[in-house]
Amino acid sequence: MAATLDAVSGVEAWDDTEHSFSFTCSGSERLLVVVATNRTSSGYASSMTYNSVSLSSIVQINGDGNNPEIWYLINPDTGSNTLYIDSQNTDCGAVAICYNNIDQTTPLDANAGDEYRNTQNVSLPITTGVNNALIVTTVTDAGDGIDHTAGGTGHVEIADGDTGSGAGQRRISVGHVLDAGSSGAKTPTWDTGNSGADGGWAAASFQATAGGGGAVLASMKQLVGHGVGTRS
């Protein structure tokens, strides 16, 4: 069973050091992913909470003042709840995503990221350690109003928009690969639409319930448990 998309927000944009908005999660074996960016040389969000429960940071990249980052929370509460972001900067943007069918014990698989300069076609190499992984990607740059295009096997765009407002606007795009197939090297891509684009990219992969062996291992433990009178 591969990961499935439950819900995705549009790009939330703000010009303050903190921001909150409502987001709804539903379904089973849930994973909340938040992709964010801000315009600063070295600053990132310092914390995020969903319904007052803290998210964990996976990757934060200095993207030449267009800094992408990815955070996550396993088993987020269902229903409409408040996502709070302490961004410590202005000209910010974020996208919230909820997935189903994610391993609840060892969800996080791998991550990668880097800055890029004067590049229209940006490659996002990441090596998955589990089969059928979910990969979440993002690319940022200073070209407000320029549409980005997702490329690579199974890689689709799920959100794209400007951050902040006025002269400080930046662009953030988010994509995913719901089922990356066999473990190993993967290369999703983003076309920034601008040969002079500067920014950053980040990617994170997660283990699906029946993808990387977690669910299979759990089933084996249950079978063994029948023989000894216990289950785990």
In a domain, 156, yes or no: yes
Side chain identity at 192, as an amino acid letter? T
In a domain, 73, yes or no: yes
- Name the token pair of 128: 């998955």
The residues with which 116 forms a beta bridge, in sequence order, are 199
Section 139-150 average pLDDT: 79
Q: Decide: helix, strand or coil at residue 219.
A: helix
Q: What is each CA distance from 205 to 22, 30, 118, 135, 143, in whole angstroms?
A: 25, 15, 27, 4, 27
Section 92-100 average pLDDT: 94
User: What is the helix, strand, coil percentage profile of the chain, to 5?
Assistant: 10, 50, 40
Global model pTM greater than 0.75: yes
In a domain, 83, yes or no: yes
In angstroms, the CA 116 to CA 155 distance is: 20
In a domain, 36, yes or no: yes
Which alpha helices (H) appear in 110-211, and where do they start and end?
none
Range of the domain at 217: 4-225
Quick one: pLDDT at residue 222? 36
More confident residue, 93 or 51: 51
Domain count, the chain: 1
Q: Decide: helix, strand or coil at residue 166.
A: helix
